[in-house]
């Protein structure tokens, strides 16, 4: 039998760190270990009942066939109304795309737009998939470190220094995974002013957590503060996070019609269309009662406050208060260089994460996976009991270091 040799695009990328962490937790649990899991990047709530009911009704009606590559009229309308309500801007059906999750939409956008040598500016910390998606599609990720001293945000100065004639995209993720950072309207305006001088550059705004926001009112999108850049902004969103629908795999984006046409052409060859049943459920989520979203955000707020207070009380750890999403990015510099009870030296954040798993049975993800250490990410999309037990276990493990 001949040996299979994968395509070069496969060897250029690595598996998702968050997916790998979740798989390791499942393995340990299968071995009988009780693991306090703070890795999961999805709501622990069930999908709202009226959304599930809409899916059942669609099945009973026989809405189980192919749809248009651009989605059902009902979902298109729901997305267009949602976009206008949230941004104040009018989009047409030709300016949206619908895919099997926001992740697929982003990947297909890069597939539709990148050629070898094109650069994509990726602020770090970043969602683990951005650089690999760029690499898989022949692009070059240009990582721009954005430290805690600048709130983990891309500054106008750093953006200006990174932009070149080869830049094709700039990625902005707000609220951020992994930090929970949110860009203010003034910060977005400042970035837009820099981008105005680079008309060849497109901006991907990943807003999948936009409804999980702890500030006053609603989150502001770049396209709201800089409508003059509308024909260069791809605003990506979906139903996974706000409506606890990660497994339904339904994402969407709004952007310039020529880019949407290219994405939809690719989608027609990749998957034909998103799931018809998921589309029916998503339309119900976007147009139905939003009480679930409001209640879940308040639950996340309570969990965030408990997690941040507990982590900041641990000597050697510190944590800025996230403004959105359901993650906290914890500085563990105080633990680096210390010695574990078995005599091992913690050299970096990956060592520290492994130590927490072995010593405290707490699963988190190292900050180096997100492009900036020494940190680790926790998800507080889990119960208060698990959060409190995890913090107590982390505290005990840290105290055991010398």
Which CATH number does the domain housing residue 27 bear? 3.90.1150.10
- Number of separate domains in the chain: 2
Do the domain assignments include residue 54?
no
Q: Are residues 260 and 301 located together in one domain of the fold?
A: no
Concatenated DSSP letters of 218-272? -PPPHHHH-GGGGGGEEEEEESTTTTT-GGG--EEEE--HHHHHHHHHHHHHHTS
Is the pLDDT at 216 greater than 80? The verdict is yes
SS3 100: coil
Query: Is 141:130 a contact under the CB 8 Å cutoff?
Result: yes
Distance CA 256, CA 271 (A): 22
Residue 78 counted as domain residue: yes
Q: What is the pLDDT of residues 270-284, one digit of tens each?
A: 999 999 999 999 999
What's the pLDDT at 11?
82
The reply to whether 162 and 236 lie within a common domain is yes
Q: Does residue 51 form part of some domain?
A: no
More confident call, 175 vs 1 = 175
With cut-offs at 50, 70 and 90, classify the pLDDT of residue 348: very high
Domain that residue 363 falls in: 8-46+292-399
Which pLDDT score, from 0 to 100, does residue 32 have? 86
Query: Is 134 inside any structural domain?
Result: yes
Give the mean pLDDT of 103-125.
Answer: 98
Averaged pLDDT of the chain: 96
Percent of the chain with pLDDT over 70: 99
**106 found inside a domain:** yes
Q: 352: closest CA among 326, 378, 327?
A: 378
Is residue 56, in this structure, part of any structural domain at all? Answer: no
- Residue 3 domain-assigned? no
Looking at residue 30, its pLDDT comes to 86
- Give the pLDDT confidence of 307-325 residue by residue, as tens digits: 999 999 999 999 999 999 9
Reported as a pLDDT band with limits 50, 70 and 90, residue 77 is very high
Pick the last residue of a domain from 287, 321, 345: 287
* Residue 1 pLDDT > 80: no
What confidence tier does 8 reach under pLDDT thresholds 50, 70, 90? confident
pLDDT higher than threshold 90 for residue 16 = no
Q: Report strand pairing: 119-124 vs 96-99.
A: unpaired
Same domain as 97, residue 23: no
- pLDDT, tens digit (0-9, with 9 covering 90-100), for 21-71: 777 778 888 888 899 999 989 999 999 999 999 999 999 999 999 999 999
User: Within a domain: residue 53?
Assistant: no
Question: What CATH number has the domain bearing residue 259?
Answer: 3.40.640.10
Same domain, yes or no, for 115 and 30?
A: no
Dihedral sign for Cα atoms in the order 374, 177, 69, 201: negative
Residues 257 and 296 both lie in one domain: no
| Mean pLDDT along residues 93-103 | 98
Residues 391 and 300 reside in one and the same domain: yes
More reliable by pLDDT, 20 or 10: 10
For 143: left if phi > 0, alpha if psi spans -120 to 50, otherwise beta; the answer is beta
Task: State the DSSP string of 119-180.
Answer: EEEEEES--THHHHHHHHTT-EEEEEE--GGGTT---HHHHHHH--TTEEEEEEESS-TTT-
146 shares its domain with 234: yes
According to the model, what pLDDT value does residue 291 have? Answer: 98
Mean pLDDT confidence for 136-155:
98
Note whether 212 and 175 are within 8 A (CB). yes
Position 25 scores a pLDDT of 79
Identify whether residues 230 and 341 lie together within a single domain. Answer: no
Do 186 and 278 share a structural domain? yes
Same domain as 272, residue 219: yes
């Amino acid at each position: 039998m001949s040996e299979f040799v994968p395509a070069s695009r496969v060897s250029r990328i690595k598996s998702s760190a968050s997916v790998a962490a979740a798989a390791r937790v499942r393995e340990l649990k299968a071995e009988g270990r009780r693991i306090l899991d703070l890795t999961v990047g999805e709501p622990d709530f069930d999908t709202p009942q009226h959304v599930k009911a809409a899916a059942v009704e669609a099945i009973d009606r026989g809405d189980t066939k192919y749809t248009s590559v651009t989605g059902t009229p009902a979902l298109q309308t729901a997305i267009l109304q949602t976009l206008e309500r949230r941004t104040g801007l009018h989009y047409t059906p030709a300016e949206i795309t619908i895919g099997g999750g926001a992740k697929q939409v982003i990947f297909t956008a890069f597939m539709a737009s990148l050629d070898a040598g094109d650069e994509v500016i990726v602020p770090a910390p970043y969602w683990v998939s951005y650089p690999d998606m760029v690499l898989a599609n022949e692009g070059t990720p240009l990582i721009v470190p954005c430290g805690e001293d600048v709130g983990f945000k891309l500054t106008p100065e750093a953006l200006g220094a990174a932009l070149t004639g080869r830049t094709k995209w700039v990625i902005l993720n707000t609220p951020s995974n992994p930090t929970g950072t949110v860009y203010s309207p003034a910060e977005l305006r400042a970035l837009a002013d820099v981008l105005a001088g680079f008309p060849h550059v497109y901006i991907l705004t990943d807003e999948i957590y936009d409804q999980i926001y702890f500030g006053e009112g609603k989150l502001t999108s770049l396209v709201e503060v800089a409508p003059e850049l509308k024909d260069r902004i791809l605003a990506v969103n979906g139903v996974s996070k706000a409506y606890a629908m990660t497994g339904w795999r339904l994402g969407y984006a709004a952007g310039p019609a020529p880019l949407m046409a290219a994405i939809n052409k690719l989608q027609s060859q990749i998957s034909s269309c998103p799931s018809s049943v998921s589309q029916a459920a998503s339309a119900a989520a976007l147009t139905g009662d939003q009480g679930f979203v409001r209640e879940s955000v308040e639950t996340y707020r309570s969990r965030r406050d408990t997690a941040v207070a507990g982590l900041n009380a641990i000597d050697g750890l510190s944590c800025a208060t996230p403004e959105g999403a359901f993650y906290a990015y914890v500085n563990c510099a105080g633990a680096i260089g210390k010695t574990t009870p078995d005599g091992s030296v913690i050299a970096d954040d990956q060592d520290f994460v492994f130590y927490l798993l072995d010593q405290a049975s707490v699963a988190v993800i190292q900050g180096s996976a997100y492009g900036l250490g020494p940190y680790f990410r926790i998800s507080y999309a889990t119960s208060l009991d698990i959060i409190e037990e995890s913090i107590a276990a982390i505290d005990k493990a840290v105290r055991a270091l010398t």
